A = this chain, B = another copy of it.
Amino acid sequence: MAPHCAASSAAGQTGAAEETQPGAADELRALLIGASDVLSEYVAQSQQPQARVLGGRSVQQMRADLRLDEFPDKGAGADGIWDDVRAVCGAAANTWSSRFLYKLYAAPAPAGVVGEALLGVLNNNSHVFRASPAGTLIESSVAAKLAELAGFPAQTEGLTFPGGSYANMHALVTARNCALPDARRRGLHVPGGRAPVVLTSRHAHYSVDKAAMAAGLGLEGVAHVPTDGHGRMDARALRRMLQRAVDGGLAPVMVNATMGTTVLGACDPLDAIAAVCEDFGVWLHVDASWGGPLALFGGDPPAAPAFAVPRGRIDSMTINPHKLLGVPLQCSFLLVRRGLGTMRQALGLNAGYLFHDDADASELDLGDATLGCGRRPDAIKLWLMWRYYGTAYFVRRVAHARRMALRLAELVRTRTSPAGRWRLVQEPPSTCVCFWFVPRQLAGGSSDEDERWGLATRRICERVNASGTALVDYASVDLPRPGPSGAPEMRRVPDFFRIPLNSPDVAEDALVAVLDAIELAASGLTF
């Protein structure tokens, strides 16, 4: 293979461009053909039943394998790139294994990878329309389609962000600036002004707290609403807390509800919450980063009936197609009922050098509706997958994840073991399954309050992951438990295994393998 052409073209004598230009196309073709070999081989190996999910080498060894101290003056070109690519693959987490059950995303859909290559080649930037006409139109069109599927009114618009946290942050800052019009110009340090507060469930994603902290509300500017025993926000408590905030002179700027909580996968009671928000005139944001696809592509009969958007009653919603829909990271949408004009008014600066009022297309410029500037046209990946696989693929994908979650719960519920006791935290409300494996030594007590259950979870998890057999995770949440007086108090339960189901490649054999691995890992431990 010819040495890297672009590097020589960069030698860039004046006038040399004409000769070297064809080089880039040839170089790109050769590189993508090489990538088709190396990357498909990696995928095939990674999907083997015996493939490790995590390499098991030390950090030191990985550094050496990657030769991280080598930043060569002269590049190795085509002779070296595949060794480097293979080294990266070798030190990556294997999302292609059906025993990768670690996080809310999984192996990407192959057509989504074509989308990444396409984005890379185009290098278009969807901050202004002209810098990315196709990307802008596709983004707006996909956002409108998602809004339609979620039952939003017609004027709803949306756009992508580099992840659900940033989408949530934009919802919060927009809501803050709408509720406190002085905040945009004068900031929050206004003598005599009302202190802003955000209300969210204790089980909501931490990005709401981070966004509030970043936005000058402080961590104390977040009021955490208790949940019921299934991890769903208590709408009556929300009403009481909102009333208390208003009575106390605070300014509630947003309520964040969650469709698919991070740990349990629960869906807050959105109708009841919407009614409260309407009574108080507060912006209702729904973080449906994880669970949104269950509402939009839930099928008929719906895979998870509780996952439904109250039509026209929510102000904004985050949904991450890079999670349950298999789009490669990153692809995250924020839908805004009042349209992007509201975001532009709240966040825009109309920077003269970039956004030109006189251009006919300025209404199509998406960037000024954000706190950022340059923007990847990530929507193209979802669009391409949609046209390649069809809506039915997303529906099947969601249904499969839900079916596997129910199956895993059944396996846990019915499994018996001489080594200990399996116990579900609760029936899975969507596609996260949470359970303990309680080693025999600890299984005598009937209370799930035994902190040693959490210790067991952590130690078993560590061993499973170190073995490379599977990559799984644990978590904990606060749940209402009878307090000393008998009245329920929110108390932290011991750490449990939390298994998100997602990939269409995960079948029962993988679930059994993971439970076997947990039992095996536990067998060598003493408490």
Determine if B509 and A18 form an interchain contact, defined as CB atoms under 8 angstroms apart. Answer: yes
Determine if A218 and B75 form an interchain contact, defined as CB atoms under 8 angstroms apart. Answer: no
Q: Is A488 an interface residue (CB 8 A)?
A: no
Q: Is A374 an interface residue (CB 8 A)?
A: yes
Determine if B133 and A92 form an interchain contact, defined as CB atoms under 8 angstroms apart. Answer: yes
A-B contact pairs, 20 of them (CB 8 A): A4-B388, A7-B396, A9-B504, A15-B508, A29-B36, A31-B110, A68-B138, A76-B390, A84-B384, A85-B384, A102-B130, A103-B125, A162-B163, A162-B166, A164-B374, A165-B374, A166-B166, A184-B219, A188-B218, A352-B475
- Partner of A329 from B98, B195, B364, B374 at Cβ < 8 Å: B374
Q: Is A28 an interface residue (CB 8 A)?
A: yes
User: Among A21, A376, A465, which residue has the most Cβ atoms of chain B within 10 A?
Assistant: A21
- Partner of A187 from B164, B188, B263, B359 at Cβ < 8 Å: B188
Determine if B31 and A32 form an interchain contact, defined as CB atoms under 8 angstroms apart. Answer: no
> Other than the known A7-B389, A71-B145, A85-B114, what 15 A-B pairs have Cβ atoms closer than 8 Å?
A4-B389, A10-B389, A20-B505, A24-B505, A29-B36, A72-B391, A73-B390, A76-B390, A102-B131, A164-B374, A185-B218, A187-B221, A207-B373, A219-B349, A352-B476
Q: List chain B residues, Cβ under 8 A from A43.
A: 24-25, 28, 121
Q: Please, how many angstroms separate the alpha-carbon atoms of A212 and B35 in the complex?
A: 43
Determine if A186 and B36 form an interchain contact, defined as CB atoms under 8 angstroms apart. Answer: no
Determine if B186 and A189 form an interchain contact, defined as CB atoms under 8 angstroms apart. Answer: no
Which 9 residue pairs spanning A and B have beta carbons closest together?
A216-B216, A187-B218, A116-B120, A75-B390, A32-B36, A162-B162, A29-B40, A12-B400, A17-B507
Determine if A120 and B134 form an interchain contact, defined as CB atoms under 8 angstroms apart. Answer: no
Q: Is A392 an interface residue (CB 8 A)?
A: yes
User: Among A22, A353, A384, A465, which residue has the most Cβ atoms of chain B within 10 A?
Assistant: A353
Determine if B130 and A93 form an interchain contact, defined as CB atoms under 8 angstroms apart. Answer: yes
A379-410 interface code vs B (CB 8 A; 1 in, 0 out): 01000101111111100110110011001000
Q: Is A483 an interface residue (CB 8 A)?
A: no
Tell me which of A58-66, A233-241, A275-283, A303-311 binds B.
Answer: A58-66
**How near does chain B come to A506, taking the closest CB pair, in angstroms?**
7
Given contacts A184-B213, A351-B206, contact A42 B121 (CB under 8 A): yes
How many interface residues does A have (CB within 8 Å)?
195
A101-138 at interface with B (beta carbon < 8 Å)? 102-103, 105-125, 130-135, 137-138
Determine if A353 and B387 form an interchain contact, defined as CB atoms under 8 angstroms apart. Answer: no
**How near does chain B come to A482, taking the closest CB pair, in angstroms?**
23
Closest residue of chain B to A374, judged by CB? B163
Closest residue of chain B to A77, judged by CB? B388
State the copy count for this chain: 2
A11-70 at interface with B (beta carbon < 8 Å)? 11-18, 20-22, 24-37, 39-44, 47, 49, 54-55, 59, 62-63, 66, 68-70
Given contacts A40-B26, A166-B162, contact A390 B74 (CB under 8 A): yes
Q: List chain B residues, Cβ under 8 A from A124.
A: 92-93, 95, 329
Q: Is A214 an interface residue (CB 8 A)?
A: yes
Q: List chain B residues, Cβ under 8 A from A84.
A: 384, 387-388
Q: Is A80 an interface residue (CB 8 A)?
A: yes
Q: Is A342 an interface residue (CB 8 A)?
A: no
Determine if A397 and B117 form an interchain contact, defined as CB atoms under 8 angstroms apart. Answer: no
**How near does chain B come to A426, taking the closest CB pair, in angstroms?**
16
**How near does chain B come to A95, taking the closest CB pair, in angstroms?**
5
Determine if B91 and A133 form an interchain contact, defined as CB atoms under 8 angstroms apart. Answer: yes
Q: Please, how many angstroms separate the alpha-carbon atoms of A449 and B31 in the complex?
A: 52
Q: Is A6 an interface residue (CB 8 A)?
A: yes
Q: List chain B residues, Cβ under 8 A from A506.
A: 17
Q: Please, how many angstroms separate the alpha-carbon atoms of A130 and B73 in the complex?
A: 31
Q: Is A96 an interface residue (CB 8 A)?
A: yes
Q: List chain B residues, Cβ under 8 A from A389.
A: 4, 6-7, 10, 75, 77
Determine if A123 and B328 form an interchain contact, defined as CB atoms under 8 angstroms apart. Answer: yes
Given contacts A63-B137, A84-B384, A373-B207, contact A39 B6 (CB under 8 A): no
Q: List chain B residues, Cβ under 8 A from A14.
A: 403-404, 407, 507-508
Determine if A475 and B353 form an interchain contact, defined as CB atoms under 8 angstroms apart. Answer: yes
Q: List chain B residues, Cβ under 8 A from A121.
A: 39, 42-43, 108, 113
Q: List chain B residues, Cβ under 8 A from A77.
A: 388-389
**How near does chain B come to A134, taking the closest CB pair, in angstroms?**
4
Determine if A109 and B349 form an interchain contact, defined as CB atoms under 8 angstroms apart. Answer: no
Q: List chain B residues, Cβ under 8 A from A184.
A: 213, 218-219
